[in-house]
Amino acid sequence: MQQIRFSPERIKEIVNKFNQISITVVGDIMVDEYLWGDVRRISPEAPVPVVHVESVTRRLGGAANVVQNLQKLGIKPILISVCGDDENGRTLLSLLEGIDCSQNGIYVSSSRPTTIKTRIIARNQQIVRADHELVADLNEHEHSALERSFDATIDKVQGIIVSDYGKGVVSPSFISSILQKSIHLNRFVAIDPKERHFNLYKGVSVITPNLKEAHSMAGLTYKNCSDEEVRELGWKLVDELNLPYLLITLSERGMALFERNERNFTHLPTVAQKVFDVTGAGDTVISVFSAAFTSGASPLEAAFLANHAAGLTVAELGTASVDPQTLIKECLLKS
């Protein structure tokens, strides 16, 4: 397998430009809640463990985690989304304030709740997850408010990330509008996709599906396929969606980069020493790839950096992000 290396000077050059870049993030935001505890007995009511909760943490999730990743890298993010006028919404806005992210592009809606995903963790193992959410497209008023926010900021950014978690922000009409404007202005556009919208992604700069999503987008039944089958699958998506670049994440196998014009395919093997939790790994990949590409990196350099960042985040339990110096150190240590 090809060994991919870049000089320390080049890695530092790319990463040190992050603080000159601004990226708009559009997508579904949510709160990731973790109930931490221990299992000491089985419930007398049903054959399930009883978790004695010892602590609770709440973190930014979905597109808000993408923003957190960008912020920690030194990128200036602008978030365009909607949350509910409820306690979870206030928690989410407080968490955003805690990372100095502007809330100007967030519409607080009285007609939909804030999405919260609650995970119960015992002895560092997830027992169950409970989701409170409304899966429905935005109404006309919400859509118009977000589009106004997007229009007011597009001239200030070098790129756009669409973080589609399928909760309703990325409706067909909204994404069609913002992609048309972004492509017209020659902005870099990266999309973390959901299958039901894949036909809307034609002509964007890059999409970053996992292997299951890539199969679904191609109309195929998911399977753990060979390297050659990954290659065939990727080129099928590149050609059907007219994509300059495609980055498929392959879990413990790393990621696969496709470059249309040069017809280059590169398999980047995972650099993770251990995989503890893949929650939010896709957010890290699209954040770092976008940060690097808009900072002047080649697609392969951007994928290289994203692969190393993902290797760090999957070693942590729950969503995690990487700072520039840690990313540089990791790339130099393992390249």
- CB of 100 closer than 8 Å to CB of 67: no
Rama region for 186: left / alpha / beta (φ>0; ψ in -120 to 50; rest): left
State the pairing for strand pair 159-163/188-192.
parallel
Report CA torsion sign: 205, 310, 314, 287.
negative
Contact yes or no for 66/152 (Cβ under 8 A): no
What residue type is assigned to position 106 of the chain? Answer: I
- Which of 28, 164, 277, 283 is catalytic? The answer is 283
Name the burial class of residue 205, with classes exposed (0-12), middle (13-18) and buried (19+) by CB atoms within 10 angstroms of its CB. Answer: buried
Residue type, 66: V
Mind giving me the DSSP string for 267-281?
EE----S--S--TTH
**Tokens 């980055």, located at residue:** 247
Q: Where are the alpha helices (DSSP H) in 74-171?
A: 87-98, 140-153
Active site residue 283: yes
Strands 49-62 and 29-42: antiparallel
Q: Following CA atoms 53, 58, 63, 69 in sequence, which dihedral angle do they give, to the nearest 10 degrees? A: -110
Catalytic residues: 283
